[in-house]
Structure 1
Amino acid sequence: MAWKFGDFHLDPDLFQLARRGVAVPLEPQVLALLIHLVRNHGRMVSKDEVVQAVWQGRAVSDASISSRIRSARQAVDDDGARQKVIQTAHGRGFRFVAEVTTSAPARAASRAETNGLLEQFRGRPSIAILPFRPLVAESDLAVLAEAIPHEIIEALSRLRWLAVIARGSSFRFGVGANDVDLVATALSARYVLTGIIERRGTGLAVTLELLESGSRQVLWADRLESTLDGMDELRTRIVAHLVAALEAHIPFNEARVARLNRLEDLDAWANYHVGLRHLYRFTEADTKQARACFERAITSEPAFARAHAGLSFTSFLAAFLRFDSDRAAAARVARQHAERALELDALDPFANFTMGRSFWLTDQPDVAAGWLSRATTLNPNYAQGFYASAFTAMLIGDAGTTIGALETSLHLSPLDPLLYGVHGVRAQLLMQQEDYEAAATWADRAVMQPGAHYLMGMIALAANGLAGRHERAGRLRQDIRNRKTDATKADYFTAFPTRHAASRTRIAAELAKQGF
């Protein structure tokens, strides 16, 4: 079942809100909140019910709930003053009051259609970047209409998981080519990026659309603006923004299509993308499923470097989150698969990333830093690489490098699956600097992100305890015990082997005080 209200269409199966056919980019928690409210439209939904639906019952503050409600209102053109779509019942909960009509969800494909779709989606994903279309015939816009896509092609060519059609082929279709079917067929491109460039007063605006060529579905769209003086910065921003969007939306779509068929019918790349979908849920069950997908990918294609890097990541999680009772063995396997990935493709940023993270497990942050620096050099738009570099710098107490890498990671991928880790690293750095109020604020943000595990809860517990927020610390303590009954302060320092002696002593004392 899907729903329509005003100009909006909300499909819970696709996990997507669209306005007039264009997807609205939303943080997963905000989208989950909106789906729950619309599903129960007309009924008052209590705060406890919201917490259960969006945060699976974990302890969250009223401010966090209010933040997600505010974002949901903004997404559907509402606000706290008008409340024409989402009303607040003060002290009680919320009610979705806009008129809602039920519509059919995305039609289930027939077996023949599914087979055809899967045939189209075999192998590495490919994308064609078309010249942008200027809205008016001006010479400077015509130059930018080709210059910006050219820079995008150069940047995307660094991504080892995505095949990028060469400029000489995609630009043959001319500026503003609008026959996407013709382009996709001629170039065998699974995805097509189009753009419009226009003058806006004294500045410029660029609108981007990422389409799946087979269905013509818009997977992502965005609009960026700049003054004429800021054109260089705008071009850099477009490239960084696009790379982050592709890293999120194309693997999600590849996994969605792959799930239409039996697992044994999937090729190596399809198994890889389904594996990624499970990998970033950070649970023991999903990590096992991710490992099985990557193993099937390697069985199908033994020299598939990214699948070996994926296996390294699953073993890293098994050691880091104690899914495996033999942590040392899991750490060795993480290193072995990272080494194999590098043997197969030394220039893959993901392989270098997993190699760097394997050295966290053996308390060698200085060695890890070198591999992670190589990952971000190979791909300067690699958000997770910058996050991992920040983590490593925090462990050795390098505040300047930590902050710089965190800001870069957040700028490149504000909704990254590892966002909880970005906020958690900042919280730990602030504890090193004895700014416990700020540390608690950032740690609370970390635990409310999708995928946040019990170790994030321990960061938040330590920060809130040191800040004197005893009531909040009590709720966190109970949440950690519910999720990991045998958690100890040793787990914390095994995962976060900080070299900053003073903060280590204070955190250890606080965790012991809290019963860990």
Structure 2
Amino acid sequence: MAWLFGDHRLDPDLFELTCKGDVVHAEPQVLALIIHLVRNRARMVSKDEIASTVWPDRAVSDASIASRIRSARQALGDDGCAQAVIRTIHGKGFRFVAEVKEASPALPHQTRPSDADTGADLSRPSVAVLPFRPLGASPEVTILAEAIPHEIIQGLSRLRWISVIARGSSFRFREGRGDLDLVGTALGAGYVMTGVIESLAGTVAVVLELADASRGEVIWADRLTAPMDGIEDLRQRVVAQVVTALDMHVPQNEVRLASQTGSDRLDAWKTFHLGLTQLYRFTPDANQVAKGHFERAIALDPRFARAHAGLSFTRFIDAFLHLGPSDAEAASAARRHAERGIELDPIDPFTHYTMGRSYWLTDQPEIAKGWFDRAIELNPNYAQGFYASAFTALMTGDIKTVDAGLDAALLLSPLDPLLYGIHGVRAQAMIQVGDLQAAARLGDRAASTPGAHYLISMVAAVANGLDGRYEQAHRWRQDARRRKPDASAAQYFAAFPIRNEKARHQIAEELKRQGF
């Protein structure tokens, strides 16, 4: 269901507001507020209700609510004087008063029939999740053999880059697990997820396998166990593990297959995945290669949202690592490409993730947090969304949120390509709380992790220097200089604009001592 009022159209499923057909860019909290007011337009919405809806589990001030109301009015072409759309009920709350008509929701841009006219072959990877094979006759095992795969299908449906075969189709193959090629051909699935569940001596075990259907190759497998009274926790762990595993291993397999194919035969999706493998190397050369792959993917399909988001990421790296002639131009381009990605697919977590990162570059962590929160809402198993949220909390000094976010990211993706960043953020959090020994240890781990860039070496140098480990600090200082001869304190604080004045002063003094 979508709502029409004036020149605006609001689609809550797409999380999109348009005016005369053009997307209105607003913060996620602002859109959530507008949606809640429209949905409850028949009554007044109190300030407490707004707070619990827009900021769940957080205490907020009247000033914060007033700020979001102002932004909502601005997005809707209203103001505090006219109040033609949102009316203030003084001292109590607000009410949406514009005349609203209901309409059918719009199809996502990438699935509209007219998009087929572009001739682009997306060839998205597809996966079929079969019902698990139960071993043992206990009712719990029999129920879970279908309940868990059903929940996996629901979880995978949040991943915008992969097609998930509907339960009604894949569950017909209860007896066809042995011939994966047959299952894949019948369902049009490139990948098949199978599992075995059994109860033994008071425990429940789930064995999982993800296979490339056409080649019969297992590309990922795992085994999870829990006591019988921990079945609910086991269900959640299985779903999280599978969603995260597919998010990592299917793209890796796609890249492996794509690298065996001539570049002139690659479609937009495979070209995008090739770019993704270069992106996380965080080096100037790899970033240029990634940029080329994303640009080619966009040329193959101009409406490919993730390719635009990938291009935004490369420009973020340009600005974050100071790789080009103008950080300001790179930051502006990062924002512009992210906006295009969201315009094309407003419910893709990756597009929201890149939009949030663009706000890091302009030292606006509060706005960035809104985009990361939305990315996690769209995909609760999005490890990098949790990492980005923790990074943002580091800037504002919310160490409790830093710890929770990093713990979630590590649980979901222990081998994440941004693992060095996870350790680096934790090291800086330890500096803020005064645990310098832990900060030095984590700094060493971060800078020693594959993919770490010169800023991470600077983090390790600072943490070791503050802990009095001067020889180790010198080593990381030299490493940073080798990677970036003009590395400076200004670059450090541009990347990590922390607002804890005491910690900022400590770090600045240590950077100065080390000659940055």
What TM-score does the superposition give when structure 1 sets the normalisation length?
0.76
- 1:140-159 equivalence runs, <5 A: 140-159=140-159
Aligned-partner SS, 1:226: strand
Q: Could you report, residue by residue, the CA deviation over 1:358-394 in whole angstroms, capped at 9, with x for unpaired residues?
A: 0000000010000010000010000000000000001
Cross-structure match for 2:321: 321
Deviation at 1:264, TM superposition (A): 2.3
Where has structure 1 moved over 6 Å in runs of 4 or more? none
Q: Deviations over 1:217-237 (max 9, x none)?
A: 110110000001111101101
Give the unaligned 5+ runs of structure 2. Answer: 1-120
Structure 1: distance between partners of 2:354 and 2:474: 35
Mapping of 1:491-510 within 5 angstroms?
Answer: 491-510=491-510
Question: Which residue is 1:310 aligned to?
Answer: 310
Structure 2 counterpart of 1:475, one-letter code = R
Residues 170-205 of structure 1 deviation map (CA, whole Å, 9 limit, x = unaligned): 001126732211110000100000101111210110
Could you report, residue by residue, the CA deviation over 1:290-331 in whole angstroms, capped at 9, with x for unpaired residues?
A: 111111111110100000000000000111011112000000
Q: Which residue of 2 aligns with 1:458?
A: 458
1:161 matched to 2:156? no
The residue number in structure 1 matching 2:43 is: none
In the alignment, which residue of structure 2 is the partner of 1:477? 477
Query: Pairwise CA RMSD of aligned residues?
Result: 1.1
SS in 1 for 2:196: strand
Give the partner amino acid of 1:187: L
Q: Matched residues, percent identical?
A: 58
- CA offsets, 1:324-357, max 9 Å, x none? 1200000000000000000001100000000000
Shift of 1:241: 1.1
Give the aligned partner of residue 335 of structure 1: 335
Task: Kindly indicate whether the alpha-carbon contact (under 8 Å) linking 2:176 and 2:183 is maintained by their aligned counterparts in 1.
Answer: no
Task: For 1:310 and 1:175, locate their aligned partners in 2 and report how far apart those are by CA, in whole Å.
Answer: 41
CA distance in 2 between counterparts of 1:451 and 1:358 reads 21
Report the Cα distance in structure 2 between the residues aligned to 1:234 and 1:136, rounded to whole angstroms: 18
Q: What residue identity is the alignment partner of 1:477?
A: R
The SS at the match of 1:420 is helix
Secondary structure in 1 matching 2:347: coil
Deviations 1:437-477 (A, max 9, x none): 01111111111111100100111111000000011111111
The answer (yes or no) to whether the contact 1:131–1:176 under 8 Å persists in 2 is no
Secondary structure in structure 1 of the residue aligned to 2:222 = strand
How many residues of Structure 1 are paired with residues of Structure 2 in the alignment? 396
Correspondence 1:38-437 to 2 at 5 A: 123-174=123-174, 177-437=177-437
Which stretches in structure 1 are left out of the alignment for 5+ residues? Answer: 1-120
Aligned partner letter, 1:172 = R
The CA distance in 2 between the partners of 1:269 and 1:212, in whole Å, is 17
Find the aligned partners of 2:294 and 2:419 in 1 and give their Cα distance. 24
Residue 135 of structure 1 and its aligned partner are, at CA, apart by: 2.2
CA distance in 2, matches of 1:264, 1:508: 50
SS of equivalent residue, structure 1 residue 153:
helix
SS of the aligned residue for 1:515 comes to coil
Deviation for aligned residue 1:423:
0.7
Write the deviation string for residues 63-96 of structure 1: whole angstroms up to 9, x where unpaired.
xxxxxxxxxxxxxxxxxxxxxxxxxxxxxxxxxx
CA distance in 1 between counterparts of 2:311 and 2:200 reads 48
Q: 1:155-181: per-residue Cα shift (whole Å, max 9, x none)?
A: 000000110000000001126732211
User: Is the Cα contact below 8 Å between 2:181 and 2:215 reproduced in 1?
Assistant: no
Q: Give 1:486's aligned residue.
A: 486
The residue matched to 2:178 in structure 1 has which SS?
coil
Spell out, residue by residue over 1:91-127, the C-alpha distance to the aligned partner (whole angstroms, 9 max, x if none): xxxxxxxxxxxxxxxxxxxxxxxxxxxxxx9610000
Aligned residues of 1:133 and 1:176 also touching (Cα < 8 A):
no
- Distance (Å, rounded) in 1 between the aligned partners of 2:436 and 2:494: 22
TM-score between the two structures when normalised by the length of structure 2? 0.76
Which amino acid in the other structure matches residue 390 of structure 1? A
1:513 aligns to 2:510 (yes or no): no
Using the alignment, how far apart are the partners of 1:232 and 1:469 within structure 2?
Answer: 46
